[in-house]
Structure 1
């Protein structure tokens, strides 16, 4: 690929917000690398209630020339299948987004639904080339709904290409649309930031990093922790992230007197993620469904073994050399997986080298080659 910079209009709701600077930390690494290689402008739909509440911060955003935040008008909690139509409406009445789309030659929609579908509808009029980047739950969750699965098919059929983060996700996209031009491009990791630790704590430290939602297996993980406490295991579990279940999780920890063994950190910045990972003995991720979570890549880059469910693209990255795969996300299997991991003699350098080809430069190089046919 030559050094010529191409123009890309990147449409995504997964983007840091002035009042949520830690949002989309993983995805933002790709965006930064992509911006180094190409001329990238961003269209970022923001739920309308949050947009109006924080409009002053949005107007004061220093990068407004390249990042256009606009309100996404929809009805919270209902008519979810119609969100792509609401998004198209929001784009048109916000004026600036539709002008940018009319001028664009190449659009990359990073999230399949409703972002990718809205861009697919507008492609009919705006005539740009459209590539849709699927990350996991945007396909795995919405494809289970008959109506939304048909809408996903329409968006993939209309696109010029679909990018997935794992072969498992590619297989799912190809089941939805036989016309789709699909390519798997694995996410990367910053090896300069996520490095091997100097030493670990003597106390056995485990860590969960992700959204505090049911499908991440947070309740099963909590039950596994209760079993380990009752059996006399000495450990400390750090839970990093935020989400709708966080208050329930905190209440369960308090009511079961688990404060000595569990800490809820909430949302932390990327530097804190590095520090926490380097001090832990294993990352635990008992998700119901996944693409390939960036946090797995980052843990492995730190030489930290992973205990994760055998779902989505996780088995494409986690193997006997760098972690333990569990077949079910129930608490008994989680406990067995953790115990197996802690009793195994791991080589941190071997774990790190198991993903040495997964860099953000490699990711963006493949992405650019796919989009611009080089």
Structure 2
């Protein structure tokens, strides 16, 4: 297969490893992460949403587990944004939770609206079961929103160096405890958000990552050049 492609680009180290595990070896390969166009978006100082889950209502994104986490957190404004194949089950579970008036849900929205809601949130709950190299945590980091996520391949390449919280396994109580701890300490949350914002904007700028693709295209015009 390596003879078919001049260069193979993986979006994460975990994807590159997965390719090798399945016997996919390439003569030339490199890693270029997904990125975000930061220039047109700004974080918001006054955040009126405590916790947001934003994504497809699909097994991958684990929305039913996220709802279980939300049900363990009282007196906090929690917003779910998204639609998908698990929507019927999600709505049924949500209707059973009518006593939780702090939990809101709206279907999928336009990208600009989603980013606005993300920027208004203090914490992004991101308990995915699997990912490649997800964009949503990067967007949250760039917008000053602290990410609490499952410790899975791809996501754990982003949330390191003190810029977010990774949780092993899927125990809703563990997630709720971490979230409450962050929300109870505004100063610590501001530190986490600041570190995350700096990392996201320095490392995941779409403009910088696009330049790396351009370098690869140029290298293919020069025999013997390495990407």
TM-score range normalised by the length of the shorter chain: 0.7 to 0.9
Please state whether the residue corresponding to 1:170 is helix, strand or coil: helix
Aligned partner (choices 205, 210, 222) of residue 50 of structure 2: 205
Verify the 8 A CA contact 2:19 2:25 in the aligned structure 1: no
Check whether the contact 1:324–1:340 (CA below 8 A) recurs between aligned residues.
no
Aligned to 1:206, the other structure's residue is in SS state strand
Give the equivalent residue in structure 1 for 2:204. 358
SS at structure 1 position matched to 2:78:
strand
Residue 310 of structure 1 is aligned with which of 123, 127, 151? 151
Calculate the aligned-residue CA RMSD, in Å: 2.1
Say whether the 8 Å CA contact 2:71–2:100 is kept in structure 1: no
Corresponding residue number in structure 2 for 1:186:
33
Report the Cα offset of residue 334 of structure 1: 1.9
Instruction: Write out aligned runs for 1:84-99 (5 A).
Output: none
Query: Is contact 2:37–2:207 with CA below 8 Å preserved after alignment?
Result: no
SS of aligned partner of 1:225? helix
Structure 2 unaligned segments of length 5 or more: list them: 221-227
Distance 1:200 1:188 in 2: 24
- 1:188-220 alpha-carbon deviations (Å, 9 max, x no partner): 11212331213122xx52111111112212111
Structure 1, residues 293-343: CA drift from partner, whole Å, max 9, x if none? 111111001111100011112122112532110011231222133223324
Which aligned pairs between 1:61-210 and structure 2 lie closer than 5 A? 158-180=4-26, 181-201=28-48, 205-210=50-55
> Which residue number in structure 2 is paired with residue 289 of structure 1?
130
Contact kept, 8 Å, 2:66 with 2:127, in 1: the verdict is yes
2:71 to 222, 226, 239: 226
Cα shift at 1:259: 5.8
Alpha-carbon distance between aligned partners in 2 of 1:157 and 1:177, rounded to the nearest angstrom: 14
Q: 1:368 to 1:176 in 2, by over 3 A?
A: farther
Question: Which gives a bigger RCO, structure 1 or 2 (Cα 8 Å, sep 6+)?
Answer: 2
Q: For residue 354 of structure 1, give the secondary structure of its aligned residue in structure 2.
A: helix
**Separation (CA, whole Å) in 2 of partners of 1:293 and 1:216:** 11
Larger Rg, first or second structure (1 or 2): 1
4+ residue stretches of structure 1 with deviation over 4 A? none
1: CA distance, partners of 2:105 / 2:55: 12
1:235 matched to 2:81: no
Q: Does structure 2 retain, via aligned residues, the 8 Å contact 1:287–1:329? A: no
Deviation at 1:351, TM superposition (A): 2.4
- 5+ long unaligned stretches in structure 1: 1-153
Give the direction of change, closer, same or farther, for the CA distance of 1:338–1:364 in structure 2 (3 Å limit): same
Rounded Cα–Cα distance in structure 2 between residues aligned with 1:307 and 1:314: 10
- The 2-side partners of 1:276 and 1:165 are apart by 26
Change over 3 Å in CA distance of 1:343–1:160 after alignment to 2: farther
Counterpart in 1 of 2:224?
A: none
CA distance in 1, matches of 2:92, 2:3: 46
Offset of residue 238 of structure 1:
1.4
SS in structure 2 at match of 1:260: coil
